[in-house]
Amino acid sequence: MKKYGLWAVLLILTLVLVFPVTGHAATPSTHINLDGNDLAMPGDVQVQIVNGSVMVPLRLVTEQLGYGVKWDNISKTATIEQGGRMLTLVVNQKEADADGVKIQLDNPSFLSKGTTFVPLRFIGEQTGATVGWDNITKTVYLTSPAQEIGVGNGGSPSPTPAPGGTPSQAPDNGSEVTTPGGSATPPVNTTAASLTDMSFNDNKLIISLNGNVNPSIFAMTGTDRIVIDLPNTIFGQAFSQRLPLTAGQSGQVPITGYPDVTGVRYSLFSSTPSTIRVVLDLNSAKTYGVTNANDGLLIIDLNGTGGYIPDPGATPIPTPTPDTSVTPLPGDSGKKVIVLDAGHGGSDPGAGSLNKLKEKDFTLAVVLKIEALLKNEPNIQVVLTRSGDTYPTLQERAKLANNLNASLFVSVHGNSPPVGTKTSPSGTETHYSRKESLQFAQIVHKYLIQATGLPDRGIKQTSLHVTRETKMPAILLEVGFLTNAKDEALMYSDDFQQKVAEAVVAGIKEYLNI
């Protein structure tokens, strides 16, 4: 027994000498990805996690971001410079200097194998780079600050450092979408598409887009989720009116009432080119189907209609072949889908008012107020054909409602008399096309007349595209005449618009008996 004990002691001493103990645990097979490209890392250098903070090699990262690095081996001080900006760090100190301003670090910088490591958060805050950490693949993601075209050097792009934000520390949930640091200024828009809206209903993620997008969709395991990358896509101008969007261009949609899904997150994943990443967090692996006919609507269906399921060790899963057929929602969640359509928009201003105000502005203001009220109804899911100054075609508006298998469709407009009419009438009209829409029109019109106080011009059966081509009860409201002084003054007042919104909501609720 004593003989074996001696051999055990010798073995332990040998292991200690060969593998010295360190206070920092290196993460095996880590990666650093800058602007979509993996950086070459020395074999003995790895990203490290210290007290929950991601620590990265200083020189490797900052030089790739265009900074010069100087090292004083006597004082153990690193100096980083670019364009007259100077950052100074001293090893093992939790304070750095940024142009004379003292900065507190999450963790002190440290030396390991001749390499200085600093917190990833510090890099994001002080360089303006967008940063993120994927705890599953052990990958640091960095995106260079937004670039502007400068004069000089032949007009070539030059990096423009942006003020710092607050990038996330290493998350403990394996998240690959983090709150980026750096400027809230979006990248130069050379993209072909924009993300305008997003919703989750009937176990389907519905992404609304302006422009054609060829998404990359794959599943991840460990923490089960489905990842949707939208290349060459930016957040639409009015996206933040519909959903939360931080200064770092990220946000999330909490999901309740769906046992398979815990949430939906989105972020500007890369700025060169601009790529938005959407992550559908799951409670367990799920099959999914994809509908993408490049008609402005991308649908990820979790109702078991697809054949794609996360297979451990087999990611990414290629994007399924787009399904060009109309895939209606089954409606088995009990929620009613209401599509609200703000008439005109974008290049189509609609009718002009007496004071040169635009119809498209009135219609959007009313629709956003209706949406805000309907969001308080737990049994209703609201989808907008537009949430900003964009122009979906009439065909796109009708197809959106049909693809969603919406319960009701409401289009809001302002009226104007035929060209050549010398005096403008006053009053409110409600239009419908198909007989299935008549009862809905009657109920809403009743409330609308009470709310506006304008003359009742009746309910009219008219062949209009959005009320004719939709498959659910659909109406078009001509709230008042933009060319009438009394109507116009009311229509562009916030109080009147709110009354109209309340009337429409009352009509919807009565028709649906909720």
Which carries the bigger pLDDT value, residue 165 or residue 10?
Answer: 10
pLDDT, residue 376, reads: 92
Q: Based on the domain organization, do 139 and 224 belong to the same domain?
A: no
pLDDT tens readout for residues 393-426: 888 899 889 888 899 999 999 998 877 677 889 9
* CATH assignment at residue 258: 2.60.40.3500
Which carries the bigger pLDDT value, residue 120 or residue 15?
Answer: 120
- 5 pLDDT exceeds 60? no
Of the residues 145, 180, 203, the one at which a domain ends: 145
Residue 107 lies in a domain: yes
Residue 141 lies in a domain: yes
Of the residues 248, 276, 301, the one at which a domain ends: 301
The mean pLDDT of 489-494, rounded to a whole number, is 95
Q: Based on the domain organization, do 297 and 205 belong to the same domain?
A: yes
* CATH assignment at residue 348: 3.40.630.40
| pTM score | 0.45
Residue 19 lies in a domain: no
Q: What is the 3-state secondary structure (H, E, C) of 298-322?
A: EEEECCCCCCECCECCECCCCCCCC
Residue 325 lies in a domain: no
Q: 176 and 277 in contact (C-beta within 8 Å)?
A: yes
Q: What is the 3-state secondary structure (H, E, C) of 197-236?
A: EEEEECCEEEEEEECCCCCEEEEECCCCEEEEEEECEEEC
pLDDT, residue 7, reads: 56
pLDDT, residue 165, reads: 29
Residue 3 lies in a domain: no
pLDDT tens readout for residues 101-129: 888 887 898 998 888 999 888 887 788 77
Q: 436 and 473 in contact (C-beta within 8 Å)?
A: yes
- 135 pLDDT exceeds 70? no
Q: Based on the domain organization, do 275 and 364 belong to the same domain?
A: no
Q: Based on the domain organization, do 349 and 283 belong to the same domain?
A: no
Of the residues 301, 326, 351, the one at which a domain ends: 301
- 157 pLDDT exceeds 60? no
Task: At 234, give phi and psi (nearest 5°).
Answer: -120, 165
Q: Based on the domain organization, do 381 and 461 belong to the same domain?
A: yes
Q: Which class for 149: exposed (0-12), middle (13-18), buried (19 or more C-beta within 10 A)?
A: exposed
- 320 pLDDT exceeds 60? no
Q: Based on the domain organization, do 129 and 218 belong to the same domain?
A: no
Q: Which domain holds residue 231?
A: 193-301
Residue 134 lies in a domain: yes
Q: Based on the domain organization, do 276 and 343 belong to the same domain?
A: no
- 251 pLDDT exceeds 60? yes
How far is Cα 373 from Cα 504, in angstroms, rounded to an integer?
10
Q: Based on the domain organization, do 379 and 277 belong to the same domain?
A: no
Amino acid at 416: S
The mean pLDDT of 464-469, rounded to a whole number, is 93
Tokens for 76, please give them: 């153990």
Q: Which of 257-271, 297-311, 317-331 has the highest mean pLDDT?
A: 257-271
Q: Based on the domain organization, do 365 and 504 belong to the same domain?
A: yes
| pLDDT band per the 50, 70, 90 thresholds, residue 151 | very low
Residue 181 lies in a domain: no
* CATH assignment at residue 90: 3.30.457.10
Neighbours of 70 (CB within 10 A): 12
Residue 226 lies in a domain: yes
How far is Cα 412 from Cα 342, in angstroms, rounded to an integer?
5
Q: Based on the domain organization, do 378 and 481 belong to the same domain?
A: yes
pLDDT tens readout for residues 292-313: 877 678 888 887 644 333 333 3
Q: 27 and 46 in contact (C-beta within 8 Å)?
A: yes
Q: Based on the domain organization, do 354 and 451 belong to the same domain?
A: yes
- Chain-centre distance for alpha carbon 494: 29
% of the chain with per-residue pLDDT over 70: 76
Q: Based on the domain organization, do 44 and 132 belong to the same domain?
A: yes
Give the count of domains, the chain: 3
